[in-house]
Amino acid sequence: MLIQEESAKLEVPDDYVIRGPGKRMPGFYNLSQKLNRDFSILFVKAVRPKMALDAFGGTGVRGIRLAGETGANVVISEQSPKAYEYILRNIAMNNLEIKSYNTGFYQACDEDVFDYIDIDPYGSVVPYVDRAVTSVKPGGYVGFTATDLSSLTGSVPAKTRRRYGANITNDTFRHEMGIRLLISYIVHRAAVFDRAASPMISFWNSHFYRLFFRVEKGVKKADGLIDQIGYVNKRHTLWGIYPNLDDGPVWTGRINDQETTERIAELSDSIASKEVGKYLGMMPFEDVSLLFKDLTGISQYIHIETPRINAVISRLRDAGWTAGRTEFSNTGIKSNCSVEDVISVLK
C-alpha cells in the first residue's frame, strides 16, 4: 500500500498499525506514532545536527522525513531483511541520498559518528541506552521512544523494580512519574560513563513516552544531574490526604528545556498537526510544579462537582498564580500554588 506522511511517500504493509503499539512485523509502520515522528523532525530542525541515525528503520519513514525535511545527513539501520527491502524501495521512491545498513543498532554505531541518534525500538529502551549515550558525539542528541509503560507506571511492580530499580505507585500521577522514572534511568546510565544527559523535551501520548536528551562529557555536569534524582512523597509534595509513600528514585528536575520548546514552537507551522500545537501549549507549564493538582480528587474531597478546568485556571491566574494544563491528566493543573489555594478558589 502506498501512503503519504508529510513529505514522505511510502510503501507500507497493507495491515499497518492504525493505533496502539501494534505487533512487530517486517516493514512495521504505525500511523499513531506520527506525533512522535513530527516532534523528531521539529527537534532536529531546532538543534540542527549534521549526521543523524534512524536506528530502527521499519519502513524508513522517520529517516526519510529527517532527510527530506531537515537537511541532515541521514543513516537508516534495520536488522530485518524484509523490512530493509521496504526501506530501499522507499528511499528510491523519494529520490533521496540516504545511507542505509541492513544491520542492528550496535553495528550501525560502529560505521559512522552521529550527533543525533533516534532510538525507537519495540518495547523498552533499556538494552540500548548505554550504547546510545556513549556512541553519540559529545554535545550531540539522543531521542528515545519507550512503550513499556506497564513497567514505567508501576502497573507491574515486580517488573518496575527489576527493570528500573524503582517503586512507582500506579495512581492518577503514574504517567508523570513514569516519564520521570525513565529520565532518571537514562541520566544515571549516562553518568556511569561520565556523561551528562540533560532532558530537552519529554511527553506522553497514548502508548508511548518520547524523550530527547543532550549528551555531554563531564563528571561535574553528570554529578549535577544525578543530584536531581530522588524520591517523591505525594503527602509532603502535594497534600496530606495522599499515602505517606516514597516513590522513586525518579527525576525531580525540569523535563523540558524552555529555549528548545520555544524554538520548536517557532518551527511548528511546518508540520500539519493539531496535536503538536496542543502539546507545545502545555509544555511551558509542566515545569511550574512537580506533579499536578488533581481537580477530580480535590472536588471529591470537598464534595463538589468537578468544575471546568479552564475556569479554575483563569481564577488561579486572576489570584496571581501561574497555572496551566498538563498533558498528564485531563483534569490536572500545573501551578505554583498549593492544593489549599486551589480549594480556596473552588469555594
Domains of the chain, residue spans: 2-284, 293-346
Angle at 31 between CA 17 and CA 26, to 5 degrees: 50
Rounded to an integer, the average pLDDT of 130-142 is 98
Give 18's pLDDT tier (boundaries 50, 70, 90): very low
Backbone angles phi, psi at 4, to 5 degrees: -125, 130
Strands (E), the chain: 2-5, 8-11, 51-54, 73-77, 99-101, 116-119, 140-146, 195-205, 208-217, 229-232, 247-251, 293-294, 323-326, 329-335
DSSP state of 17: B
* Domain at 2-284, CATH from 3.40.50.2300, 3.40.30.10, 3.30.300.30, 3.40.50.150: 3.40.50.150
For residue 101, what pLDDT is reported?
96
Question: For residue 268, what are the CA distances in angstroms to 272, 273, 286?
Answer: 8, 9, 19
pLDDT tens, residue by residue, 274-330: 899 999 999 999 999 999 999 999 999 999 999 999 999 999 999 999 999 999 999
Residue 334 pairs in a beta bridge with 324
d(CA 137, CA 140): 5
d(CA 32, CA 25): 16
Residue 17 pairs in a beta bridge with 30
Does pTM top 0.85 for this prediction?
yes
C-beta neighbour count of 14 within 10 angstroms: 5
For residue 86, what pLDDT is reported?
94
Task: Flag whether pLDDT at 35 surpasses 60.
Answer: yes
* Higher pLDDT, residue 142 or 20: 142
CATH of domain 293-346: 3.30.56.70
